Amino acid sequence: MKLPALSALFAGLLLAAGAHATSAEHVVASHAWIRVLPADLPAGAYVTLENSSDQPAALSGATSNAYAEVMLHQSSNEGGVSRMAMLHSLEIPAHGKAVLAPASYHLMLMKAATPVKPGDIVKLNLKFADGSALATDFVARPASAIDDTH
Amino acid sequence: MLARMNKTTDSRMKSRRSTGVAMLLLLAASLLLSSCQRSAPLPFQLTNISGHMPALDFKLTDDQGKPVSGADYRGKVVLLYFGYTHCPDVCPLTLEQLHVVMQRLGPLADGARILFVSVDPARDTPAVLHAYVNAFDPRAVGLTGDPRVIEALVKRYRSAFTREPASSDGNYEVSHSSAIYVFDRNGNARVLSTPTDSRDDLVHDLHLLLSTGTSS
């Protein structure tokens, strides 16, 4: 009983929110950058997402012409072991933010269409759970770039 | 009378105590002398693993394709880290932070080597490792080898790694130890740095190890 009621409520909320504005319209992206690694090794992409809406938004992934595959990941360190797990979505709280930063949430970029070099600007389409998308410019930085998010 | 007796006992005890202090001083002096020749107890900030972890010993292939052993790095302070090149987040962050640590050590850093041992030898050829480690620091060396040899080496430092199930496109992740093991110039394990430890402490301890002991 609980689940159908909840999903009905959720669907209602989505409809109500969707009628006016999408997640993409309420989310602002900043500090967007990519750590470029040599050869065609997977790279990590980082961004800070701020949600100005009264409703939470959810990042579900990204697409890009520059990379064949993009995956939303979370790194963790428990009991001295580094792990990486795939995420289906990441919540951006209402009037809050979600930070994708090294050793935490990140987008894993794989199979570059053409080699990406430090200094390049790469466009990623950030996808939200409501189906909307936000085109964001990511700055490609060298492997040894220092994270400035924190 | 009673007070007098007490005084005598007191002075006797005092003289006994001073003999004891002198003997302790002598012992301390001889210990200091002998420790100057051997390894002195250094005031480390990180977790001290001296005597608790085995010395640096391995037979692997370096990123130039050359067979190397632990003995080849005697005379250098070694920072040992297990990782893999298809690791886009934590491994690059660790290597970037180690690069910053090396920069902060200035010319002393030439006496240190970062050994990045691959826990993914199936994909990490010497050529891939060479490009990867050199993107971070010129004093970093990539090491790969027989999977069983790497497994034994990881176990030697009481750690483990697991190859996670592959995705539909065949890509896979490897869960691995997040620690950095630091060895002195004689190959003895000295301190352990974990991601929660401050980089200042690592700089401090490396400074201690690099400015003492025999140089290469």
User: Which letter does DSSP use for residue B73 in this model?
Assistant: G
Whether A41 contacts B95, CB under 8 Å: no
Indicate whether A14 pLDDT > 60.
no
Do both B166 and B64 map to the same domain? Answer: yes
CB contact under 8 A, B88 and A42: yes
Q: Does residue B115 lie in a domain region? A: yes
pTM here is 0.81
Say if residue B21 is in the same domain as residue B59: no
CATH classification at residue B147: 3.40.30.10
Q: Are residues B91 and B165 in the same domain?
A: yes
Task: Name all domains of chain A by residue range, CATH numbers in brackets.
Answer: 22-141 (2.60.40.1890)
Reduce the DSSP state of residue B128 to 3 states and report it.
helix
Q: Compute the distance between CA of residue B191 and CA of residue A97 in angstroms, rounded to an integer.
A: 38
Residue B215 placed within a domain: no
Partners of residue B133 in chain A, C-beta under 8 Å? none
Whether residues B18 and B122 fall in one domain: no
Q: Same structural domain for residues B86 and B175?
A: yes
Are residues B52 and B29 part of one domain? Answer: no
Q: What is the pLDDT of residue B7?
A: 45
Say whether A82 and B90 touch across the interface (CB within 8 A): yes
Residues 36-65 of A with CB under 8 A from B: 37-39, 41-44
Note whether B96 contacts A80, CB cutoff 8 Å. Answer: no
At residue B131, the 3 state secondary structure works out as helix
Question: What pLDDT does B8 receive?
Answer: 45
| Cβ pair A69, B169 in contact under 8 A | yes
Same domain for B1 and B66: no
Q: Is B216 inside any structural domain?
A: no
Sign of the alpha-carbon torsion through B28, B32, B34, B35? positive
**Which residue in A77, A108, A142 is closest to B88 by CB distance?**
A108
Residue A21's pLDDT band (cuts 50, 70, 90):
confident
B173 & B135 share domain: yes
Q: Do B159 and A146 touch (CB under 8 A)?
A: no
pLDDT at A99 over 50: yes
Q: Which residues in chain B touch residue A109, judged by CB atoms under 8 angstroms apart?
A: 88
Beta strand A27-35 pairing with A43-51: antiparallel
Residue B17 lies in a domain: yes
Provide the percentage of residues in chain A whose pLDDT is more than 70.
Answer: 85
Is the residue at B94 inside a domain?
Answer: yes
Q: Which residues of B touch A37 (CB under 8 A)?
A: 85, 88, 92, 132, 135
Contact B89 A142 (CB under 8 A): no
Q: Closest Cα to residue B174, out of B158, B187, B159, B162?
A: B162
Q: Is B136 a domain residue?
A: yes
Answer yes or no: do B131 and B85 share one domain: yes
How far apart are the CA of A20 and the nearest CA of chain B, in angstroms? 37
**For residue B124, what are the CA distances in angstroms to B91, B117, B144?**
14, 10, 7
- In chain B, the number of structural domains is 2
Indicate if B85 and B56 belong to the same structural domain: yes
B56 assigned to some structural domain: yes
Confirm whether B41 is domain-assigned. Answer: no
pLDDT per residue as tens digits for the range A111-124: 999 999 999 999 99
10-residue averages of pLDDT along chain B (216 residues): 45 54 55 50 93 96 98 98 94 95 97 97 96 96 96 90 84 88 97 92 97 60
**Subunit contact A44:B89, Cβ cutoff 8 A:** yes
| Alpha-carbon gap: A84 to the closest alpha carbon of chain B (Å) | 7
With CB atoms and an 8 Å threshold, state whether A84 touches B173.
yes
Q: Cα separation of A28 and B211, whole Å? A: 49
* Residue span of the structural domain in which B183 resides: 47-210
pLDDT confidence of residue B5: 44
Clarify whether residues B100 and B187 are in a common domain: yes
* ipTM field: 0.81
Q: Are residues B150 and B116 in the same domain?
A: yes
Q: Tell which of B49, B53, B85, B89 to mutate to test the A interface (max A CBs under 10 Å).
A: B89
Q: How confident is the model at residue A11 (pLDDT cuts 50, 70, 90)?
A: low
pLDDT recorded at residue B6: 46
Q: What pLDDT shows up at residue A74?
A: 94
How confident is the model at residue A8, as a pLDDT?
A: 63
Do A39 and B128 count as a contact with CB atoms less than 8 A apart?
Answer: yes
CB pairs under 8 A between A and B: 91
